[in-house]
Amino acid sequence: MDIEKLARKMRERALNIEAREEKKHLSERKRTQDQLDAMKKLYFHAGRWAGGARDRTAKAAFQRVSVE
């Protein structure tokens, strides 16, 4: 096999692997950020219930936080 073709094939493979790893990392970071946002939202609404708000969303959040 020609050394230039081999080198090109190896570079392309390395770039493909790097791109897949970067995509996986971004996906994981997005999932983590989504979970963090959901938790912030839950605690915000639970705090509203503790502060005197009496709507369904605040009550459900407070119950969920107090059970966990």
Q: Taking 90 as the threshold, does the pLDDT of residue 1 lie above it?
A: no
pTM of the model: 0.65
Does the structure show a pLDDT above 80 at 24? Answer: yes
Quote the mean pLDDT of the chain.
93
Q: CB of 44 within 8 A of CB of 64?
A: no
Q: Tell me, what's the pLDDT at 67? A: 80
The per-residue pLDDT for range 39-50, each reduced to its tens digit, is 999 999 999 999
Sequence-ordered alpha helix ranges (H) in the chain: 3-50, 56-67
